[in-house]
């Protein structure tokens, strides 16, 4: 049985079963309605909106634009609008076929991306056209076929439809069955399944998410808004007729019969569940349907909808006669609003955290019934999760919000997603829930705005703005190298309204083009213009948004930056969660300079499907990222690494971080990155990556799109194959365990092609990327380059090409990867590189790795791993010395000139004269016989004596130091050892002494609560991120500067 007929048989069987159930359970003769007023769109809100469309030009334009959309739908007539709404027996799929178009193939994806098929539901019903070649599908008259199969309730019954209408009418040169779709797709001669009608039904009629709304949702939104703005009943009449029809079909909608395995792809997180759409998408579909009912409710008793709906009920033998308003209201409330709770509990409306909870909360508000609202809202917050039953079905046992806010939102304000785009969805969906909870004034315990973790979520994303145009593409975020900012002014503005935080005002100002012109509250506000002046007052006193270097040890991210705007130069390191919507990219390095993403992460894969091999084998695999692959394998699961050192000043910035969980066979997996300022518009990057353990290490690095010139290498082109080997073709998973489907754990080397190798590379070589301005962010004469110098003893070096997603319009054709390889038993590697983004001419003249001699406490065999010392000579005569050691207790002689004991030292001179010297977390640093720093206290050490244990905005750690100390520690970082291989860090905002050895550190709004002790019994209280008695370390830094 082929794929489409398996689905057809399943749906027909289920469809008939629905009618049997419906026949046995006739609707009650008495229609008990619940809703008595609008509860989401309150009278005050509607009154404000109607006043604002008269007072303000921008509001009048919103109204006019809305009326234009609403009138366009209204012109089609209520019969056409009613007929848009399809029943369960028409499949839904977000994909026609991953091969693209039957005529022009994948060209549609390359030029227009996913979800790009065109449709016009009124002019060309049941047709989609390819935007690339303009071919139209399906080839048969499905509209006539569909109408011939309408049965009881106006539902499509495939067995009643006229099969003679299943003929190719558009392409006479093709076979009679070519691209003919009976609703369940067309299967070509190669058994490939093309779902024209399922795609049309999902995307043209219904919806995927708030960015891709179908015509049913668009029409409802237009009618709802039009009625709110004008009070004109014609809009309410059309909208209520549509709502009643949705209520007819919604209880029977069940996506589970349309399986991914049969080619009906939907967004449901691999559960197969959903209603109209996959369970994740369903959270976006249901909300505008719910709010439409609330918006149009006041007109329910005013509009003349009974004749039309009564006639439909009679014509299609419906059980509800629809001969009175209460029968229609009952239908909407039972068929839509009350159905939400059932669907949420059955995991048919279930998305990422916040999505289904906000859907149910919205239903609780809109049903306008105290008993049901209490039941549903308590369920939203009660502990619970997914549970699989004996029959294989899944249910949700609770909304889990009380648990999620503590356990799943980290102390930095991020959910348990690595991808910023998915994390921001948490904020948006939590915000929908929060706005609903505000309406329940008798239940302040539900109000999310009172929760410190929720407040933190608003602030979390602001530091992730880089070069005024980027958000790091961690995990499944964005398109490779594309300038996009995740945060939106809508959420930042609402956050500012609630919390009055200066940085939120600055963020709104920035997102509005560094201006208050046009900033306003929403149309429902009594005085929408007032907030612009409040934001201007913040800018006048605090200045515009300025972002510096930062460390987020809860989320696992750090940024080192210099400069502002297009002159900003930044390096970032990700050491957080590497699964879920994350990639196996622990210790990945990103770089921004002169407005360009110089080391673009691949971002989203083509498809987020379990059967899309490239996603698991390449896009989210370790090899495609700027990190190190150990033993030709994908990294293990890792939640967060251990920050070891963080320093930021105007001369340099430093991060040292290890990831003990990235590979189980390594005893060290550690990256140290420092950015060094050259001048106001230029910096370079020192990258030190140390790995101990395993037998094979590959340091992978790719720059931006563009040609790469190499010097110091003799690269020989490989005749065929991939980086996996000459005999391994592209895309062939040579190292795949056939018992594994999603969790491929191999190398991914078979996705790297056009390979060139040097099997005997010099210890020092140079690469230069000639930057192609993929996203048109540079002036035409920019002449941007990325210089890369490696100083490491290697077995071989390769250059190879790797592709970003091929269905993202505008994406780079490919990136050139540098693959530095070492092998050996119990291997120890220290990959050393210097990276310089530059425009026109390089500013670095030469780079040299210096000799190191231990003077105390170190085995000579470990010196190359433990201490790395570099000399960087600039073309203007300035010479920088950078020294880093993995332990600060050993004294070394560097280049027969510097005596050093510490973690990090920086020395800069010109014409033999000192410019600047710094010692971080060290005891001594001499230059020749000059004692720059001698017998220094490298760090404050001690133990945690106490800390804030309740949930609040202001938090403190009390420490007891080993030595008496009275010194301001503001701006330093405290590192707390929380286990044998675990360490975390907190920024110190202020410090004050209780006595000579007891210091209280203010750490601001970063909570020390880690999770609940028992998620099934919250009365047991919290588990904390730190404990009394934990060892602490606050590294100190010393500097001298000659003016």
**Omega before residue 933 within 30° of 0, cis:** no
Instruction: List the CATH code of the domain at 939-1038.
Output: 2.40.10
Q: What is the band of 27 on the pLDDT scale with cuts at 50, 70, 90?
A: very low
Angle at 160 between CA 156 and CA 161, to 5 degrees: 75
* Ranges for all domains in the chain classified under CATH 2.40.10: 939-1038
Q: What is the band of 521 on the pLDDT scale with cuts at 50, 70, 90?
A: very high
Which pTM value belongs to this model?
0.94
Contact in structure between 666 and 692 (CB atoms under 8 Å):
yes
Name which residue leads in pLDDT, 781 or 338.
338
pLDDT at 862: 81
Mean pLDDT of 1022-1028: 98
Above 90 in pLDDT, residue 13? no
Q: How far apart are CA 868 and CA 438, in angstroms?
A: 56
pLDDT at 28: 40
Distance, CA of 1012 to chain centre: 25
Above 80 in pLDDT, residue 1000? yes
In percent, the amount of the chain with pLDDT more than 90 equals 90
Residues 699-750: pLDDT tens digits? 999 999 999 999 999 999 999 999 999 999 999 999 988 766 557 999 999 9
Mean pLDDT of 587-606: 96
DSSP assigned state of 936? -
Closest CA relative to residue 866, chosen from 834, 837, 891: 891
Q: How far apart are CA 714 and CA 711, in angstroms?
A: 8
Contact in structure between 324 and 306 (CB atoms under 8 Å):
yes
Above 80 in pLDDT, residue 209? no
Structure tokens at 730: 């592209």
pLDDT at 996: 87
Task: Point out which residues pair with 101 in neighbouring strands.
Answer: 105
Above 80 in pLDDT, residue 979? yes
Above 90 in pLDDT, residue 29? no
Residues 648-699: pLDDT tens digits? 999 999 999 999 999 999 999 999 999 999 999 999 999 999 999 999 999 9
Closest CA relative to residue 822, chosen from 587, 633, 629: 629
Third-level CATH fold of 550-735+745-839: Beta-galactosidase; Chain A, domain 5 (2.70.98)
Mean pLDDT of 817-831: 97
- CA R_g for the chain: 31
* Ranges for all domains in the chain classified under CATH 2.70.98.70: 550-735+745-839
Half-sphere exposure of 452 (CA within 13 A, CB side): 16
Structure tokens at 682: 């230029």
- What's phi and psi for 574, nearest 5 deg? -105, 125
Contact in structure between 913 and 923 (CB atoms under 8 Å):
no
Mean pLDDT, all residues of the chain = 94
Residues 396-447: pLDDT tens digits? 999 999 999 999 999 999 999 999 999 999 999 999 999 999 999 999 999 9
Residues 890-923: pLDDT tens digits? 999 999 999 999 999 999 999 999 999 999 999 9
DSSP assigned state of 334? I
In percent, the amount of the chain with pLDDT more than 70 equals 96
Q: What is the band of 4 on the pLDDT scale with cuts at 50, 70, 90?
A: low
Above 60 in pLDDT, residue 17? no
Q: What is the band of 510 on the pLDDT scale with cuts at 50, 70, 90?
A: very high
Closest CA relative to residue 864, chosen from 827, 835, 899: 827
Mean pLDDT of 484-494: 96
Residues 788-823: pLDDT tens digits? 999 999 999 999 999 999 999 999 999 999 999 999
Contact in structure between 181 and 197 (CB atoms under 8 Å):
yes
Above 60 in pLDDT, residue 6? no
Structure tokens at 781: 């004469």
Q: How far apart are CA 862 and CA 692, in angstroms?
A: 11
Above 70 in pLDDT, residue 1001? yes
Distance, CA of 16 to chain centre: 41
Residues 131-183: pLDDT tens digits? 999 999 999 999 999 999 999 999 999 999 999 999 999 999 999 999 999 99
Half-sphere exposure of 791 (CA within 13 A, CB side): 19
What number of other Cβ atoms are within 10 A of residue 927's Cβ?
18
Q: How far apart are CA 593 and CA 600, in angstroms?
A: 12
Q: Is 293 exposed, middle or buried (0-12, 13-18, 19+ CB in 10 A)?
A: buried
Above 70 in pLDDT, residue 306? yes
pLDDT at 1: 39
What number of other Cβ atoms are within 10 A of residue 813's Cβ?
12
Angle at 526 between CA 521 and CA 532, to 5 degrees: 35
| CB-based contacts of 437, cutoff 8 Å, min separation 6 | 361, 377, 443, 446, 447, 448, 449
pLDDT at 31: 81
Q: How far apart are CA 18 and CA 623, in angstroms?
A: 50
Q: What is the band of 24 on the pLDDT scale with cuts at 50, 70, 90?
A: very low
Contact in structure between 645 and 1035 (CB atoms under 8 Å):
yes
CA distances for 449 relative to 273, 446, 731, 943, angstroms: 31, 9, 49, 35
Name which residue leads in pLDDT, 226 or 115.
226
Task: Point out which residues pair with 685 in neighbouring strands.
Answer: 675, 835
Residues 230-249: pLDDT tens digits? 999 999 999 999 999 999 99
Q: What is the band of 12 on the pLDDT scale with cuts at 50, 70, 90?
A: very low
């Amino acid at each position: 049985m082929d794929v489409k007929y398996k689905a057809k048989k399943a749906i027909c069987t289920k469809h008939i079963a629905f009618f049997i159930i419906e026949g046995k359970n006739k609707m009650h003769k008495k229609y008990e309605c619940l809703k008595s007023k609008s509860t989401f769109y309150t009278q005050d809100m509607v009154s404000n909106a109607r006043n604002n469309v008269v007072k303000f030009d921008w509001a009048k334009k919103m109204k006019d634009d809305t009326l234009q959309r609403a009138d366009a739908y209204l012109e089609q007539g209520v019969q056409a609008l009613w007929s848009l709404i399809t029943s369960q027996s028409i499949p839904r799929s977000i994909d026609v076929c991953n091969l693209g178009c039957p005529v022009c193939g994948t060209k549609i994806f390359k030029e227009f991306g996913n979800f790009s098929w065109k449709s016009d539901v009124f002019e060309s019903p049941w047709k989609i056209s390819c935007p690339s070649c303009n071919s139209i599908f399906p080839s048969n008259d499905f509209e006539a076929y569909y109408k011939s199969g309408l049965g009881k309730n106006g539902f499509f019954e495939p067995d009643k439809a006229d099969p003679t209408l299943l003929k190719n009418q558009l392409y006479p040169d093709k076979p009679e069955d070519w691209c003919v779709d009976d609703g369940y797709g067309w299967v070509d001669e190669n058994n490939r399944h093309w779902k024209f009608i399922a795609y049309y039904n999902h995307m043209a009629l219904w919806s995927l998410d708030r960015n891709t709304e179908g015509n049913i949702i668009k029409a409802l939104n237009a009618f709802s808004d039009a009625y709110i703005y004008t009070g004109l009943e014609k809009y309410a009449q059309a909208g209520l007729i549509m709502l009643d029809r949705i209520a007819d079909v919604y209880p029977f909608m069940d996506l589970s019969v349309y399986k991914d395995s049969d080619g009906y792809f939907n967004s449901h997180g691999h559960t197969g569940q959903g209603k109209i759409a996959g369970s994740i998408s369903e959270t976006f579909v249901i909300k505008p349907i719910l709010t439409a009912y609330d918006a149009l409710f006041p007109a329910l008793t005013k509009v003349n909808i009974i004749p039309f709906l009564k006639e439909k009920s009679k014509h299609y033998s419906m059980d509800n006669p629809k001969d009175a308003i209460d029968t229609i209201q009952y239908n909407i409330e039972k068929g839509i609003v009350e159905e939400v709770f059932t669907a949420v509990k059955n995991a048919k409306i279930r998305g990422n955290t916040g999505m289904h909870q906000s859907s149910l909360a919205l239903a609780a508000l809109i049903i306008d019934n105290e008993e049901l609202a209490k039941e549903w809202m308590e369920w939203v917050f009660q502990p619970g999760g997914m549970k699989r039953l004996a029959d294989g079905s899944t249910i949700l046992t609770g909304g889990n919000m009380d648990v999620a806010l503590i356990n799943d939102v980290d102390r930095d304000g991020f959910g348990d997603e690595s991808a910023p785009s998915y994390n921001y969805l948490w904020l948006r969906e939590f915000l929908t829930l929060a706005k609903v909870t505000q309406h329940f004034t008798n239940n302040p315990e539900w109000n999310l705005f009172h929760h410190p973790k929720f407040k933190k979520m608003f602030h979390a994303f602001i530091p992730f703005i880089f070069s005024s145009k980027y958000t790091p593409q961690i995990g499944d975020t964005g398109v490779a190298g594309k300038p996009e900012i995740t945060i939106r002014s809508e959420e930042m503005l609402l956050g500012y309204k609630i919390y009055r935080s200066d940085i939120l005002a600055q963020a709104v100002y920035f997102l509005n083009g560094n201006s208050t012109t046009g900033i306003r509250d929403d149309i429902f506000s009594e005085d929408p213009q007032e907030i612009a002046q409040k934001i201007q007052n913040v800018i006048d006193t605090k200045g515009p948004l300025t972002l510096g270097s930062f460390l987020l040890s809860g989320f696992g991210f750090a940024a080192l930056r210099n400069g502002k705007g297009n002159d900003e130069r930044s390096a970032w390191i990700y050491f957080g969660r590497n699964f879920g919507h994350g990639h196996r990219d622990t210790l990945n390095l990103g770089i921004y300079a002169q407005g360009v993403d110089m080391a673009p992460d691949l971002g989203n894969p083509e498809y987020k499907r379990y059967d899309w091999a490239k996603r698991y084998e390449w896009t989210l695999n370790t090899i495609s990222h700027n990190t190190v692959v150990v033993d030709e394998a994908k990294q293990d699961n890792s939640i967060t690494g251990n920050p070891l050192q963080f320093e930021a000043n105007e001369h340099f910035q430093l991060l040292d971080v290890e990831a003990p969980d990235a590979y189980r066979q390594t005893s060290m997996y550690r990256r140290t990155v420092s950015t060094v300022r050259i001048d106001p518009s230029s910096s370079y990057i020192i990258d030190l990556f140390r790995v101990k353990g395993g037998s094979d290490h590959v340091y992978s690095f790719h720059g931006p799109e563009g040609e790469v010139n190499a010097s110091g290498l003799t690269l020989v082109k490989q005749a065929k194959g991939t980086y996996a080997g000459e005999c391994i073709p592209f895309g062939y998973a040579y190292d795949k365990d056939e018992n594994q489907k999603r969790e491929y754990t191999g190398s991914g080397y078979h996705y790297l092609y056009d390979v060139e190798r040097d099997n005997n590379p010099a210890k020092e070589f140079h690469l230069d990327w000639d930057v192609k301005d993929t996203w048109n962010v540079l002036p035409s004469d920019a002449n941007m380059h990325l210089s890369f110098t490696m100083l490491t003893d290697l077995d071989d070096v390769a250059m190879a090409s790797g592709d970003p997603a091929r269905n993202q319009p505008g994406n780079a054709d490919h990136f050139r990867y540098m693959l530095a390889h070492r092998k050996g038993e119990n291997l120890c590697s220290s990959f050393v590189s210097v990276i310089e983004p530059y425009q026109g001419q390089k500013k670095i003249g030469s780079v040299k790795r210096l000799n190191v001699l231990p003077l105390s406490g170190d085995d000579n065999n470990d010196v190359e791993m433990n201490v790395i010392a570099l000399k960087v000579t600039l073309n203007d005569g300035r010479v920088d010395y950078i020294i880093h050691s993995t332990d600060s207790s050993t004294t070394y002689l560097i280049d027969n000139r510097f005596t050093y004991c510490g973690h990090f030292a920086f020395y800069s001179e010109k014409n033999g004269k000192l410019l600047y010297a710094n010692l971080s977390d060290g005891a001594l640093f001499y230059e020749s016989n000059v004692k720059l720093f001698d017998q220094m206290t490298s760090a404050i050490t001690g133990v945690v004596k106490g800390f804030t244990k309740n949930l609040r905005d202001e938090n403190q750690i009390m420490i007891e130091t080993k030595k008496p100390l009275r010194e301001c520690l503001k701006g330093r970082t405290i590192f707390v050892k929380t286990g044998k291989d675990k360490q975390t860090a907190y920024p110190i905002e202020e410090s004050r002494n209780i006595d000579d050895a007891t210091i209280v550190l203010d750490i601001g709004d970063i909570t020390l609560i880690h999770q609940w002790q028992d998620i099934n019994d919250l009365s047991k209280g919290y588990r904390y991120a730190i404990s009394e008695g934990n060892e602490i370390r606050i590294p100190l830094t010393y500097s001298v500067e000659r003016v």
